[in-house]
Amino acid sequence: MADAANLGPEGAFGAFGAFGAFTGSGAFGAFGAFGAFGAFGAPGPANPPLISQALITNHDGIAGTWIPVAAGAVDANAEEDTAYLERLSPAVRASIYALELGTHIGFVFEPGADADDQGWGRVFHLETTLANPVPNAKYQGLIAMRRPTQDIFAEQLTLVANYADLRQDRMAEILAQLGTPTEFLRAIAYIEPSRTPYTIELLATAHWLANFVEMRLKYALGCKRPIEYSPQIQPMIWTPSHGTLPSGHATEAFTMARVLWLLLRANAVKPYSKGIWGEMLMRQAARIAINRTVAGVHFPVDSAAGAVLGLTLGRYFVDRCTHAAPSESWEFDGIAYPGDQDFDWRSYFHPNDPAGGTHPEQEQTAWATKDDIGDADANQMMSAPLNWLWGKAADEWKDLVTVVPAIAEDDES
Amino acid sequence: MTYDWTELDPEKLPRDPRTDFVLNELERFIAADLGLGDEDPDSDHDVDLLARRSTAFDKQWWMAVVSVARSGDKISSLTINELIKKAEEYQPVPLSDFLFVPREYDEGQRTSTNLDVITIYAQRAYLDAVNAPDGEEKLGIRSILISTPLEDETLNPGAEPFAPPDLEVDVNQQTVVVAVIDHGIAIAHDLFRRRNGAGELELSRIDFFWDMDGAPEPAADVQSSVGRVWTRREIQNVLDHNIHNGLLDEAAVYRELGLIDWRFSRFKACAQRVSHGTHVMGLAAGYPPDEDTGEDRRIIAVQLPTRLVGNTSGNGLKLPLEQALRFIAARLSKYKIGRASHLPPLVMNFSFGNFMGPHDGTGEIERAIDKELTDMSAATHRARLLLLPSGNGNLSQCHAVINLTGAAPRERLDWNLQPADRSASFLDVWLPVLNPVPNNAMRLKLKGPGSVGSITLPAGMVPQHAVLIDTDENGNPFVVAALAYRPPSAPTFRGKFTVMTVPTDHPMNVGPVAPSGKWKLTFKKGAAVEDLALNVWVQRDDTLPGFPEFGRQSYLSDARYRRFGRPGGDVVAEDPPGHDSPVCRAGMINGIACGNLPAVVAGFVRSDGEMADYSAGGPTLNGLRLAGPDASAVSDDSVALSGVLSAGSSSGSRVPMNGTSVATPQVARWAADQIAASPTTPFGRAKVVAAALNDDPPSPRKPSILRTGGGRLSIESVFGQLRWPGQ
């Protein structure tokens, strides 16, 4: 696994392969390819030489005389057809999703006014509208992030030192959470490879997006890790090579938690509109984030930045999947973060009870603020492959009761 | 590393050697442990560090349990106001700025001439003056116990007593108040909550929670000299706005209550999966929210200061007990059963213990417990029961009985100090009651490991004191160990040798540490007495479960002590017949559980009925408690399933924990049930013994009275039915 050598992005992508490992089916083993990035398009099942050798002699033995094929004997596939997606291996689809998502993300680093000033990392959604042959394009703000000052990191370091008390208690979780958050989300939602293959694929895709964005931000902001501030932190795991803020684990866990809750509610199946489902998913994401502070590799402010980023990306991802125009842009201003502030997920999201008529909301604080995207183009191009994946995953959560459930109130978040 | 034993001038000896050692010789370790002098992150760490530490150390406030001197008539005591006056009038400079009396003591208590043991908060200048040879005469304090400084932020000093809070608590005829004094109490656990009208678990069964680690809050319903008291109203306010989607946001609750705040380095027991106080209180008074009994079990919880609990090199755990008991008594006095004039019954649990003390009921804390229980009972005819564990030190090798006779006037014993022990180590040698102790009754020779030479001090009526000095690389001298003898004094009337060493290790540069290894003790009887039986106890100083590594337990050894019956066999849990080693298992009972009135509980294994190997027993030196424990209860479900289940820190969780700490609160719970069934019947220690005798009639398989007391109580498992079917 990539994380064994501390080479993986969050050490996490290699763990997709684990889904193959625990079913033995091998189908999801292909997700392991994510881990190796270079291995996109890797063949699915292996080609054992013995079988290939046999197929060669077998061909010689039975193919007989060549008969040409007439032009009209076979019909062409439809082009740009989502039905085709179903025939593709998950790894191939993953490449398609990557382009659908990745080509619509823009990034700019806007330096601070002078050398001491913190710059802004700005992530954009690329709105495209159909024109031939080149679409019209416009960048809309998605999230902007500015790193905290050194004073704030120095003060945050005391919290990191104090959290070390929990290492014995949390060791098993911390090590298990080196892999994908799916392992912990699956303990809340009934995810299982045979039962919900597309949900796993959807979460993996959301994970990809989170990683794609967070790594660019981490690189731009270049924040030092706790281990670089003090020799007394002594993290209990490898400190990854990338920057500390935003926390990748927080970003990914909150992205996936938000996507998952929206997915669970897609078919208005009874229990999932209860706030407790969102409550538990967010508790889980926060636990994963905090465990990184316990381990000694993250500041609490990293988790806060990651939570804001992840919640934003989760909503954005579902918008992309459901053909909705992204309508919010968020800003995380690290220099407004109080130095002694611990990470509390409830400051960033209220898993209100949709079933009870209150909508879940992403919350604003002094350092995490929202802008509405007022001029979103309702006719912007939508992604059919992402929409196809969403539909497949949502179908896995349809209720199997004979009575049609009452339609729950619509909720947006 | 040049060691030198030096005898101190007998005219200038501190009255209590241990207090002096902690205040003055352990300064460099305690100051470093507490990070004193390091508060300013911009200062250069090493420059003037020792001076900065020393100045900061002087300003630390200590909780001290003291016994008050008698007044001129030798019978009545001085009053608290007189003690304050003496501090004000102290020459050459007044010491009143270095002392504050708990503001919980009201005017009546401050003018009482019937005092014995009280608690004070003081700084080093006052404590050193008290401990000086003329300290009793000049400051009116007869004896003193200290541990380690309290956190400044937890103190609420002032000269004026608090106005007693006018807080009546309405209860009913079936109510039994269960008070739990412990550490790491996750009070928001659902076993301590009940549902409101809307079905939310917003109601707390905790009437009062005194968090001695808390920050004083002027707006709080009840004021305290140290920490923060939360009333039920205040607790419920916190619960109320932290329930979301039917679940309590416990992280938010404990942050608001100040129990888990990661800005502070203090060990946060409730953040761990298993916390001692939560488990214990779950057993004593935890009821699922929908169980009716819970309605009638009201809780008063007292959480001890983390520093005192974590610092095992002193008397930490037991020091706050005097204030805790007074707090419980004061709160209880405001409970009202309808219009009736009597107060509800009370069961208290304190699941902590130590190894040291006279073991005859005359220690300060043992006296404070007995007096408080007596006072509480005098005010009412309802049950006032305190349960204490017999302790887990049975196999710790921390007790020895040295019998010196004419035929065998000499005995030897090794005291083993472990390497990497970051806490100080203490050993007491108690003479029998002899008043006076004849000169040349005995002599104790102490020889340290390696190149440490020896020192010999005699017992008699003259105090003796020698210190072991080591030098650092610059030739500066530092005391690393001491041997002291103090002649008998009231009320214990036993001469006592004390051996004290600084830690054997420290991660920072604090100067020389004590050498680890065997410290050899040689006891030699003189001709002045016939036979002499000495009792040796070693201070418990192991790191507590969950706490950061700190102390490592020192222990006694001698070749005649056999840990195992045969190679590869079980440990020997009781001194076998013909046991001829001075080191013994018998008598390892919890040092604070040797008073007259508390009920003391040992632990046994449910599956086989054997006493738990660690469960300590008697005898004690108290004629009213010769056997030691009063009864035993289950401390382990089976040999394989160690411990019993009770509350983990988080709501909904159950975790196993073992020790006599968990046997004790089960008896508290059982006693509360007995009392609830017959609230007007007095219920004390004797009832516990009687029930044990009844439940466990004599049989060949019944454990010895020294281990089990009256016997093994048949109490149904509280939370363990699923774990061990058939309980």
Distance between CA atoms of residues B440 and B558, nearest Å: 26
Distance between CA atoms of residues B466 and B10, nearest Å: 10
Average pLDDT, chain A: 89
User: Which residues from B are below 8 Å from A165, CB to CB?
Assistant: 267-268, 271-272, 548
Distance between CA atoms of residues A83 and A79, nearest Å: 10
Residue B459 identity (one-letter amino acid): A
How far apart are the CA of A384 and the nearest CA of chain B, in angstroms?
36
User: Which residues from B are below 8 Å from A280, CB to CB?
Assistant: 247
Cis before residue B619, ω within 30 degrees of 0?
Answer: yes
How far apart are the CA of A380 and the nearest CA of chain B, in angstroms?
37
CATH of domain B404-557: 2.60.120.1290
**Nearest beta carbon to residue B265 from set A162, A166, A278:** A162
Distance between CA atoms of residues B574 and B594, nearest Å: 20
Q: How many residues does chain B have?
A: 727
Each residue of B207-256: pLDDT tens digit? Answer: 999 999 999 999 999 999 999 999 999 999 999 999 999 999 999 999 99
pLDDT of residue B38: 75
**Nearest beta carbon to residue B268 from set A165, A168, A340:** A165
Answer positive or negative: Cα dihedral of B238, B244, B246, B250: negative
CB B589 within 8 A of CB B618: yes
Closest residue in A to B245 (Cα) is A276
Distance between CA atoms of residues A153 and A149, nearest Å: 7
DSSP-based three-state secondary structure for B322: helix
CA distances from B715 to B673, B681, B709 (A): 11, 20, 16
Query: Could you tell me the two tokens for A92?
Result: 């191939």
pLDDT of residue B312: 64
Interface membership of A287 toward B (CB under 8 Å): no
- Residue B667 neighbours by CB under 8 Å, 6+ apart: B387, B599, B601, B631, B633, B688, B713, B715
Considering only CB atoms, which residues of chain B are within 8 Å of chain A? 41, 244-247, 249, 251-252, 255, 261-265, 267-268, 271-273, 546, 548
Q: Which string of DSSP letters, residue by residue, matches B241-290?
A: TTEETTEE-HHHHHHHHTSS-TTS-S--GGGSSS-HHHHHHHHHH---TT
Distance between CA atoms of residues B41 and B139, nearest Å: 40
Closest residue in A to B265 (Cα) is A162
Each residue of B582-619: pLDDT tens digit? Answer: 999 999 999 999 999 999 999 999 999 999 999 999 99
Question: Mutate which of A157, A165, A173 to test chain B, going by most B C-beta atoms within 10 A?
Answer: A165
Distance between CA atoms of residues B536 and B548, nearest Å: 29
CB A286 within 8 A of CB A343: yes
Asked if B252 lies within 8 A of A158 by C-beta distance, the reply is: no
Q: How many residues does chain A have?
A: 413
Interface membership of A166 toward B (CB under 8 Å): yes
Q: Binning pLDDT at 50, 70 and 90, where does residue A31 land?
A: very low
Burial class (CB in 10 A: 0-12, 13-18, 19+), B262: buried
Among residues A120, A113, A149, the alpha carbon closest in space to that of A329 is found at: A120
Q: Binning pLDDT at 50, 70 and 90, where does residue A359 land?
A: confident
pLDDT of residue A1: 35
Asked if B263 lies within 8 A of A162 by C-beta distance, the reply is: yes
Each residue of B329-360: pLDDT tens digit? Answer: 999 999 999 877 778 999 999 999 999 999 99
Distance between CA atoms of residues B221 and B217, nearest Å: 9
Q: Binning pLDDT at 50, 70 and 90, where does residue A405 land?
A: low
φ and ψ of B253, to 5 deg: -60, -50
pLDDT of residue B622: 96
Tracing tokens 């007095």 back to the chain, one arrives at B682
Domain ranges of chain A: 112-395
Q: Binning pLDDT at 50, 70 and 90, where does residue B41 land?
A: low
Q: Binning pLDDT at 50, 70 and 90, where does residue A8 land?
A: very low
- Phi/psi zone of residue B660: left (φ > 0), alpha (ψ -120 to 50 degrees), beta? alpha
Asked which of A72-76, A155-159, B312-316, B638-642 is least confident by mean pLDDT, the reply is: B312-316
- Residue A163 neighbours by CB under 8 Å, 6+ apart: A290, A293, A294, A296, B262
Interface membership of A353 toward B (CB under 8 Å): yes
φ and ψ of B204, to 5 deg: -105, 145
pLDDT of residue A410: 53
Q: Give the mean model confidence (pLDDT) for residues B280-289.
A: 98
How far apart are the CA of B230 and the nearest CA of chain A, in angstroms?
24
Q: Binning pLDDT at 50, 70 and 90, where does residue A44 land?
A: low
Asked if A166 lies within 8 A of B271 by C-beta distance, the reply is: yes
**Nearest beta carbon to residue A159 from set B263, B267, B272:** B263
Over 80: is that where the pLDDT of A16 sits?
A: no
The one-character DSSP state at B190 is G
Over 60: is that where the pLDDT of A20 sits?
A: no
pLDDT of residue A402: 77
**Nearest beta carbon to residue A162 from set B244, B249, B264:** B264
How far apart are the CA of A177 and the nearest CA of chain B, in angstroms?
18
pLDDT of residue B48: 80
pLDDT of residue B504: 96
What b/e sequence results for B690-715 when a residue is b if at least 16 CB atoms lie within 10 Å of its CB, and e otherwise? ebbeeebeeeeeebebbbbbbbbbeb
The one-character DSSP state at A225 is P
Interface membership of A158 toward B (CB under 8 Å): yes
Between A251 and A179, name the one with better pLDDT: A251
Q: Give the mean model confidence (pLDDT) for residues B548-574.
A: 91
CATH number assigned to the domain with residue range A112-395, chosen from the 4 options 3.20.20.240, 1.10.645.10, 1.20.144.10, 3.90.1150.10? 1.20.144.10
pLDDT of residue B315: 67
pLDDT of residue A12: 41
User: Which residues from A are below 8 Å from B549, CB to CB?
Assistant: none
Burial class (CB in 10 A: 0-12, 13-18, 19+), B287: buried
Over 90: is that where the pLDDT of B167 sits?
A: no
Query: Could you tell me the two tokens for B270?
Result: 């409730």
User: Which residues from A are below 8 Å from B546, CB to CB?
Assistant: 168
Distance between CA atoms of residues B543 and B552, nearest Å: 6
pLDDT of residue A17: 40
Asked which of A15-29, B71-85, B433-447, B682-696 is least confident by mean pLDDT, the reply is: A15-29
User: Which residues from B are below 8 Å from A353, CB to CB?
Assistant: 245
- Residue A325 neighbours by CB under 8 Å, 6+ apart: A127, A319, A373, A376, A377, A378, A380
Closest residue in A to B263 (Cα) is A159
Burial class (CB in 10 A: 0-12, 13-18, 19+), B682: middle
Distance between CA atoms of residues A213 and A254, nearest Å: 14
Over 90: is that where the pLDDT of B409 sits?
A: yes
Residue A141 identity (one-letter amino acid): G
Asked if A169 lies within 8 A of B262 by C-beta distance, the reply is: no
Asked if B255 lies within 8 A of A344 by C-beta distance, the reply is: yes
How far apart are the CA of B269 and the nearest CA of chain A, in angstroms?
9
Burial class (CB in 10 A: 0-12, 13-18, 19+), B131: buried
CB B398 within 8 A of CB B541: no
Between A343 and B38, name the one with better pLDDT: A343
Interface membership of A300 toward B (CB under 8 Å): yes
Interface membership of A151 toward B (CB under 8 Å): no
How far apart are the CA of A408 and the nearest CA of chain B, in angstroms?
17
Interface membership of A275 toward B (CB under 8 Å): yes
Between A8 and B716, name the one with better pLDDT: B716
Asked if A274 lies within 8 A of B245 by C-beta distance, the reply is: yes
**Nearest beta carbon to residue B245 from set A158, A165, A276:** A276
Distance between CA atoms of residues B429 and B412, nearest Å: 13
Asked if A274 lies within 8 A of B251 by C-beta distance, the reply is: no
Over 60: is that where the pLDDT of A119 sits?
A: yes
Distance between CA atoms of residues B477 and B495, nearest Å: 30
Closest residue in B to A283 (Cα) is B249
What b/e sequence results for A190-216 when a residue is b if at least 16 CB atoms lie within 10 Å of its CB, and e otherwise? ebebeebbbbbbbbbbbbbbbbbbbbe
CB B424 within 8 A of CB B502: yes
Q: Binning pLDDT at 50, 70 and 90, where does residue A21 land?
A: very low
Q: Give the mean model confidence (pLDDT) for residues A227-250.
A: 97
ipTM of the complex: 0.89
pLDDT of residue B542: 80
**Nearest beta carbon to residue A276 from set B246, B251, B261:** B246
A 10 A CB-CB count for B52 gives 18
Closest residue in B to A156 (Cα) is B263
Q: Give the mean model confidence (pLDDT) for residues B717-727.
A: 76
pLDDT of residue A403: 64
Closest residue in B to A287 (Cα) is B251
Q: Which residues are bridge partners to B243 per DSSP?
A: B248
Over 50: is that where the pLDDT of A10 sits?
A: no
Query: Could you tell me the two tokens for B239?
Result: 């619960």
pLDDT of residue B726: 59
Domain ranges of chain B: 62-148, 169-389, 404-557, 596-708
Each residue of B638-696: pLDDT tens digit? Answer: 999 999 999 999 999 999 999 999 999 999 999 999 999 999 888 999 999 999 999 99
User: Which residues from A are below 8 Å from B41, CB to CB?
Assistant: 154
How far apart are the CA of A101 and the nearest CA of chain B, in angstroms?
34
